[in-house]
Structure 1
Amino acid sequence: MNILNFVHAFFSDSAHWHGYDGIPTRLTEHIRYSLQALVLAALIGLPVGLVTGHYGRGGNALALIATASRALPTFGLLVLAVTWLGFGLTPVMIPLVVLAVPPILVTTYEAVRSVDPAPVDAARGMGMSEPRILFQVELPVALRLIFGGLRSAAVQIVSTATIAAYVGLGGLGRYIIDGLYQRDYEKVVGGASLVVAMALTTLALFWAVARFAVSPGVRRGG
């Protein structure tokens, strides 16, 4: 039985569309975990990246932190978090946030640093305060690249949030973990297909949001 047959069998089985283990329920759980992790990562990465990028300080430290964070094994970090905090959502959020902060932080820093200094100097000459320069001059220009960092982080989170199933939570990883345990490869392939589809949907959503939020002039300039 090939992969396409497994996919067809999984999605054509009405039992997979109802109840606590149905696709709508597991998909909703996966989206909730992913959104929570992305919001937490953005709350950490965006402010630090904007401030350090505006003042042009800490670039080497950010690169070091990002490299160290990417080197951490996600599953190993999950195991340590569970050992320390016990089972629950918090141990899952820790590795997901650690995974997502570096692309947001580094991309935001580089996006602000890449803004043409001429309008920034002109704004200072007009007497604008530093926060106004950051949010009214630099941020609109840097927004396209910042969305790129958020998009990268979101896709990584969506693809990795399957680890929630390892600690007894839900999400699409439940199909993969349970399917492997039960040797139900139809369920494994179906769950993996849903994760891939959700990652591609995330890419499309961020592309659409960026098209709406980023100034047309900045898009053409990019």
Structure 2
Amino acid sequence: MGAIPGAWGWLTTGTNWTGTDGVLQRLAEHLVLTSVSMTIACVLALPVAVLLGHLGRGGALAVNLSNIGRAVPTFAVLVLLIVATNSARYWPTIIALVLFAVPPLLTNTYVGMHQVDRDAVEAARGMGMTGGQLLFRVELPLAAPFVMSGVRSAAVQVVATATLAAIPGEGGLGRIITAGFAQYDTAKVVAGAVLVAALALLVEGVFLALQRLLSPTRKARPARRPARPTPQMEFS
């Protein structure tokens, strides 16, 4: 049996979805790991990027430093954290994922704040808006698509990279892949990879919908014009 038909057979077998090692359990672990990592990364990166973009100072340095962090492999960071902390629990993986998610969050948010239409900002300032009102009523709404783009990019990357949690023996969909390798079961490896890819695509779609929903340029449906009455000809 080939890898693809074998993976389909594995995914359509009900017993593979239940139990402590089933897909549903591993999916729940993967979602928790991703959610915790993304929440911490957003709390750390978004306020800093918003403030730097609002002030217009220090943002370029912060973005360059965060981009340098992208060059460091997440796997290497994970191994170093496990060795340094002498722990195989979730925290080394979470820290590695947070460091991986911060650069796109910081970069996109700062760029979005920095590229807000200056005319709109000056007009709002001329109307007497305070700094806080300017930030929350003008700059953040206009920068929202860029912010959501960064969140979407980071979330998809974290979902895919969270499979590394299986390396130190923790949960997540990566455990299905590592178990398949250990059992020399190619179909199981492919099935685990398909599940990770499907979850990443689902997250991509959800955040893309949110990004479009928050776009300030989203046009409302135009009101339907009333039909013009058909002129009638009179015959004498």
Please give the TM-score of this superposition, normalised by the length of structure 1. 0.94
Whole-Å separation in 1 of the counterparts to 2:4 and 2:35: 30
Whole-Å separation in 1 of the counterparts to 2:12 and 2:142: 47
Alignment of 1:134-213 (within 5 A): 134-213=135-214
Helix, strand or coil: the match of 1:187?
A: helix
Whole-Å separation in 1 of the counterparts to 2:17 and 2:147: 37
The superposition leaves residues 152-175 of structure 1 with CA deviations (integer Å, 9 ceiling, x where unpaired) of: 000000000001111111110001
Whole-Å separation in 2 of the counterparts to 1:192 and 1:117: 46
Which residue number corresponds to residue 102 of structure 1? 103
Please give the TM-score of this superposition, normalised by the length of structure 2. 0.88
Q: Which is greater in Rg?
A: 2
The superposition leaves residues 122-171 of structure 1 with CA deviations (integer Å, 9 ceiling, x where unpaired) of: 22222222122111101111101111110000000000000111111111
User: What is the aligned residue count?
Assistant: 218
Matched-pair contact (CA < 8 Å) for 1:158–1:195 = yes
Letter in 1 for 2:39: V
Query: Which stretch of structure 1 is more off in the superposition, 57-66 or 152-161?
Result: 57-66
The RMSD of aligned alpha carbons is: 1.3
Whole-Å separation in 1 of the counterparts to 2:177 and 2:165: 11
Shift of 1:12: 2.1
Shift of 1:186: 1.4
Matched-pair contact (CA < 8 Å) for 1:52–1:58 = yes
Letter in 1 for 2:204: L
Which residue number corresponds to residue 37 of structure 2? 37
Query: Which stretch of structure 1 is more off in the superposition, 66-75 or 2-11?
Result: 2-11
Shift of 1:13: 2.1
Which residue number corresponds to residue 83 of structure 2? 83
Whole-Å separation in 1 of the counterparts to 2:66 and 2:38: 16
Matched-pair contact (CA < 8 Å) for 2:4–2:187 = no
Which residue number corresponds to residue 57 of structure 2? 57
Q: Which has the higher helix share?
A: 1
Whole-Å separation in 2 of the counterparts to 1:208 and 1:67: 27
Letter in 1 for 2:202: T
Whole-Å separation in 2 of the counterparts to 1:2 and 1:149: 38
Matched-pair contact (CA < 8 Å) for 1:144–1:219 = no
Matched-pair contact (CA < 8 Å) for 2:63–2:106 = no
Whole-Å separation in 2 of the counterparts to 1:18 and 1:122: 59
Whole-Å separation in 2 of the counterparts to 1:115 and 1:3: 50
| Residues 219, 144 of structure 1: alpha-carbon distance in 2 compared, 3 angstrom cutoff | farther
Shift of 1:2: 3.0
Which residue number corresponds to residue 23 of structure 1? 23
Where does the alignment leave 5 or more consecutive residues of structure 2 unmatched? Answer: 220-236
Whole-Å separation in 2 of the counterparts to 1:7 and 1:116: 50
